Structure 1
Amino acid sequence: MALWMETGSEPKTETEIADLEAISALKESTALELKEKGNELVKKGKKHYPEAIHCYSRAINQKALNDHDTSVLFSNRAHVNLLLGNYRLALSDSQDAIKLFPANVKAYYRAAKACLSLNLLAEAKSYCESGVGKDPNNEELKKLAKQIDLKKLEQEQREAQVSKALVEAKEIVSAIEDKRLKLGNAMYRELTGLRKPVLDKNGILHWPVLLLYAEFMSSDFIEDFCETDMFSAHLDIISILFYNLRIKLLIIFSM
């Protein structure tokens, strides 16, 4: 019987050939049944996803289907891995699906989705373009391509903002060093927030300044205190504001 044949040997008798054909047909039937079972499990919801992956894996391991059908199995498993957040596995399965059957458009879509989730934007866009090349009317791929472009734009904007902030920070540090100023530890952040010094285009520093009046248990916060300003100018403004507020309170309470 074919079951007892040595690995790599060719069937010689009609019986051996028939046995091998029967085994091949059985494995193919098993693989297709496992595929359908996996599909049904996916429809049942998230708690059945691991079992669905197991079914697809068993179907793949039968090694009984043609390249097209095996590609579908890899693509289906990629889909479930995407749903579970297993993006690396989803990408690997999608790539295997594409290798087996390059016309598998769903595999390109799932590869692009996985790359997008992994922030591999260039690769994601490449898979989208390849998929659209296979199916120019695929709206899902076109929509995904727009999402990738948007995320790429947002990423570039963030990188530009970070780069600008770093340049500004270096300029401020350089200005502080040039002026031979010594800074202590940040204090009273609960009163000042995250305000930081700013260097204007003329190379002049503007500081956030907190005035504490221990005797009265109060404070004033000046968000923009130019290094060329005099304290008296700011104190005069504070005095005027305080006086106006006091007048308003007196009017209110005298009514």
Structure 2
Amino acid sequence: MALLMEKGAEPQTEKELADLDAIAALKESAAIELKEEGNKYVKMGKKHYSEAINCYTRAINQNALSDTETSIIFSNRAHVNLLLGNYGRALSDSEEAMKLSPTNVKAFYRAAKASLSLNKLVEAKTFCENGLDQNPDNEELKKLLKQIDSQISEHQQHEAQVSKALTSAKGLVSAIEDRALNIGKAMFQELTGLKKPILDKDHILHWPVLLLYAEVMSSDFIEDFCETDISAPLPWDKENAYTRDAIELYYEAGSGVRLSKREIISTFLQGTVASHLESFGDDEIDGVKSSPKGISSIGEGRSKWVKVNERRTLHAVLKEPNLIIPGIPVFFVVSKRSSFYKEFKSGNWSLPF
């Protein structure tokens, strides 16, 4: 009997040949039946999709149909996997279908759909174009190709924006390194948001500056303070305690930890389309500090209040070696006419947090 023949053995008699033909016919019939059964399960809805996949798999495993018919079954299984969100399996089935029948347009369409869902936009476009080579009038492929082209365009625009944001952040860090400034962790963002310095076309830094009135813990915010300007506060209070001749300006020295170059770039990317980046495309960034000597903090023990010489430019003040800029410059404004002035100058006052 043909069923008892050893694997690889050639049939010797007409009986064995007939048996083999009968077995092949049975397997072919079973495969076709399983395919049709699978199609019925698909029409019955999502609850029966797993049964449809099982039928298609068993039909394929019969190894009894032509390449063209088997291609259709792979394509059908790809369709069900798409419906289930099994995009990787759908793509694999579609590719098998295309190998077996390069003219199976549905397989190209489903491969494109799966690739699109996997965000493989270039591959999706190629599948669409190859499918249209087979059938130039296929409206589904035309519509899908238009959708893919639109997403590719959006992706390219997004990548261009990310690149621009990263280039800007690196430019800021380079300018800060050139000026030997120390940047620390951003503070007071509840008052300033995600404001950051801007480097203009003349390579001049424009800083957002926060002025804190230490006695009453109110604040003023200057959005654009050019580094070449004299560091003089502009606002004053209603009771005239903070008139121009009465106020003094201070910064807190020896406070904070100097950020690394990588950390500064991450800070400057906050609030941009590139905020998600973990790699900045430059191996030299890793481990490099934002200023020389590799010191992670400045000052020892208690921080100090240092009076600002208001005849100096903002740049000259910020490059003081004992000043770590907490994201953006922060200066404390006190009035010599206030009773609070003595407490502040004595060093007994500190930020209430």
TM above 0.5, one fold? yes
TM-score, normalization by structure 1: 0.85
SS at match of 1:208: strand
Gapped regions of structure 2 (runs ≥ 5) = 240-353
1:122 corresponds to 2:122: yes
Q: Name the structure 2 match of 1:186.
A: 186
Within a 5 Å distance, the mapping from 1:239-250 to structure 2 comes to none
Q: What displacement does 1:167 show?
A: 1.3
The alignment's TM-score, normalised by the length of structure 2, stands at 0.63
1:56–1:186 Cα change, 3 Å? same
C-alpha distance 211-139 of structure 1, shift in aligned 2 (>3 A): same
**Aligned counterpart, 2:70:** 70
RMSD over equivalenced CA pairs, Å = 2.2
Cα drift, residue 91 of structure 1: 1.5
Q: Which SS does the other structure have where 1:216 is aligned?
A: coil
Code of the aligned partner of 2:37: K
**CA deviation string 1:120-144 (max 9, x = no partner):** 2222211111100111110111111
Name the residue aligned to 1:250.
none
C-alpha spacing 1:222/1:44, structure 2 compared with 1 (3 Å)? farther
- The C-alpha deviation readout for 1:15-62, integer Å capped at 9, x for no partner, is 323322221122112111211222222223333222222211111000
What number of residue pairs does the alignment pair up?
239
> Helix, strand or coil for the counterpart of 1:215?
coil
Using a 3 Å threshold, how does the CA distance of structure 1 residues 227 and 47 change in structure 2: closer, same or farther?
A: farther
Identity among equivalent positions (%) equals 68
The range that moved more, 61-70 or 220-229, is 220-229
Structure 2 contact 172–198 (Cα < 8 Å) conserved: yes
* Change over 3 Å in CA distance of 1:5–1:204 after alignment to 2: same
Mapping 1:98-137, distance limit 5 Å: 98-137=98-137
Deviation above 6 Å: which 4+ runs of structure 1?
236-239
Q: Once the two structures are superposed, what CA deviation does each residue of 1:90-116 show, in whole Å capped at 9, x if it has no partner?
A: 222111111111110000111111222
Distance 1:222 1:62, change over 3 A: same
Note closer, same or farther for the CA distance 1:236–1:87 as it changes in structure 2 (3 Å cut). Answer: same
More contact order relative to length (CA 8 Å, sep ≥ 6): 2
Opposite residue 158 of structure 2, the aligned amino acid is R
From the superposition, tell whether residues 56 and 197 of structure 1 become closer, same or farther in structure 2 (CA, over 3 Å).
same
Q: Which amino acid aligns with 1:53?
A: I
Deviations 1:127-186 (A, max 9, x none): 111100111110111111111111111111111111111211111111112222212211
How far off its partner does 1:86 sit?
Answer: 2.2
**What's the CA shift string for 1:58-99, capped at 9, x where partnerless?**
110001111111000111111122222222222221111111
Query: Which has the larger helix fraction?
Result: 1
1:167 paired residue number:
167
Task: Please name the residue that 2:294 is paired with.
Answer: none
Q: Whole-Å Cα distance in 1 between the matches of residues 206 and 184 of structure 2?
A: 17
1:131 alignment partner AA: G
Distance, in Å, in 2 between the alignment partners of 1:220 and 1:209 is 9
Structure 1 gaps, min length 5: 240-255
